[in-house]
Amino acid sequence: MRRYTVVPARRLGFLVRKEILVLPSRTLVGVFSLGLILLPWFSNDPYLLRVVILSSIFAIYAASWDLLAGYSGQVSFGHALFFGVGGYGSALLNYHLGWTPWLTIVIGAGVAMVAGFLVGIPCLRLRGSYLSLATLAFPLILTGLLFTIPELSGGELGISGIRPLVRSRVGYYYIAVGAMLAVCFALWKIGNSNTGLILHAIREDEVAVRASGINTVRYRLLAFSLSALGAGFAGALFAHFIRVIGPSTLEVALSFQAVIWGIFGGVASIYGPVAGVFVLYPLTEAMSLVRELSEYRLLIFAIVVLLVLLFMPEGVAPWVRDKLEIRCPRCKVRNVVTRATCHICEAPLR
């Protein structure tokens, strides 16, 4: 467990120094966040901003998958369900009732959370590959249902003509990036809290957790609901950015994307999947800028994923972290790799 010192708000500098700059991985995250916030000062190229906005939205989606799959070990193959439900929920309310997107996005995410809870119930009885493969079914069943009510769902066209959250690209950029940073920080906090610890334990040995008097049912459902909340929020943001929500958001391909981003970045870390998205998504887009590569980009994407995994089977982010930091053998706190002794307990690191 990491240690947290309670710091008065006025000493922000102290906080930055002691909590962020102390570890290279946190410094990286800080620099990354700051970079995102400052980016529009250097370029307001709408295309560049669009790619970052979409990356941010998908980062929320991938990070929410991580809470469910990485922490609690319920590897969902149908995460697109929550993305789609959030998007459709928000779009339907906005389009048919004319409510403001600011409200419908929240409701859409809430609907997704309910969906997560409902899907979580049958999944309580399942484990491992059975759970993965069963979850794969849910978005496809929903797609079938949507096609039976085209008056409401728009069938294969989906719903178009939904209102954007804000008109200006930079405005949307700050909403998406801000939401991404906030949601991911919250998810990371949950992951490092007692709840996160219990989820870790459930993944490793559920029977043992139950034997310790913990209601694992409650925690597994909690993981499902929270994760669905995040994914639904991402889906709703996506719908109001693209301004169309259709059955393509429920496709197997999008469910698999979450798995790929998550595992590529490194599971059970939250920042791993975020890194996964921010490496892979812009990389794929950058390839489409080069005419010769553009039609090969998915092939290259798959090969890159495969090759990187061979060298970093734990994912990119943990690999980078382990190169930069070393764990104190005595108090388990992480230290800069250059230090000889632990910065907390002063035990020799090697």
Partner 1 sequence: MLQDILVTGLVNGGVYALLAIGFSLIFGVARIVNIAHTGFYMVSAYLLYTLLNLARLNFFLSFLLAVAAVTLLSVICYKLVIEPVRQHEAAVLIATIALGLIFQESLLRIFGGHFRGNPAILEGAVEIAGVSVSYQQLLTLAVVAVVLIATWLLLHHTRLGLAIRATANDLEVANLMGMNVHRVAMLTVAISAMLAAVAGAVVAPLIVVDPFMWLSPLITVLAVVVLGGLGSIKGSMIGAFIIGYAEVLTVFLVPTGAFLKGAVSLSIMVIVLLLRPEGLFGVAFEEER
Partner 2 sequence: MKLKMLVGVVMLALGLAMAAEAQQAIKIAILGPMSFVQGENHWAGAEMARDEINKAGGINVGGKRMQVELVRGDTNEIQSVPDATNAIERVITRDKVDFLIGGFRSEAVLAMQEVAMDYKKIFLGAGAAHSKLGLNVEQNYDRYKYWFRATPVKDTDLVRSLFAVLGSIGQQIRTDLKTEAPKVAILAEKAVWTEALVGAAQKNLPAMKMEVVGTWQPSAVATDVTAELSAIERSGADIVFTMLSGPVGIVVGRQMGERKMKAVAWGINVEAQKDEFWQAAAAKAQFVSTLDTFAEVEITPKTVPFVRAFKARYGKSPTYNAATYDAIMILKAAIEQAGTTDADKLVPVLEKIEHVGTGASQSWDKRHDLVWAVGKTAGIAVQWQDGKKVPFWPPQVKGMQPFKMPQR
Chain positions contacting partner 2, by CB under 8 A: 45-48, 50-51, 54, 147, 150, 154-158, 160-161, 238, 242-244, 246-249, 253, 279, 282-283, 285-291, 294-295, 298
Is 322 an interacting residue with respect to partner 1 (CB under 8 A)?
no
Q: Which is nearer to partner 1, 144 or 178 (CB)?
A: 144
Q: Which is nearer to partner 2, 55 or 74 (CB)?
A: 55
List the structure tokens of 89. Answer: 């929920």
8 A C-beta contact, residue 112 and residue 233: yes
The rounded distance, in Å, linking the Cα atoms of 72 and 201 is 8
CA–CA distances in Å: residue 242 to residues 90, 110, 238: 13, 20, 6
Q: Which is nearer to partner 2, 253 or 340 (CB)?
A: 253
| x-marked contacts with partner 1 along 224-263 as a string, rule CB under 8 A | ----------------------------x---x--xx--x
Which of these, 116, 153, 110, 148, lies nearest to 135 by C-alpha position?
A: 116
Is 313 an interacting residue with respect to partner 1 (CB under 8 A)?
yes
DSSP secondary structure letters along 23-40: SHHHHHHHHHHHHHHHHH
Dihedral sign for Cα 103, 107, 110, 116, please.
negative
Q: Which is nearer to partner 1, 47 or 147 (CB)?
A: 147
DSSP secondary structure letters along 81-103: HHHHHHHHHHHHIIIII---HHH
Q: 306 contacts which partner out of partner 1, partner 2, none, CB within 5 to 8 A by kind?
A: partner 1
Q: Which residues bind to partner 1, rule: CB under 8 A?
A: 75, 122, 125-130, 132-134, 136-138, 140-141, 143-145, 147-148, 207, 252, 256, 259-260, 263-264, 267, 295-296, 298-299, 301-303, 305-306, 309-310, 313-314
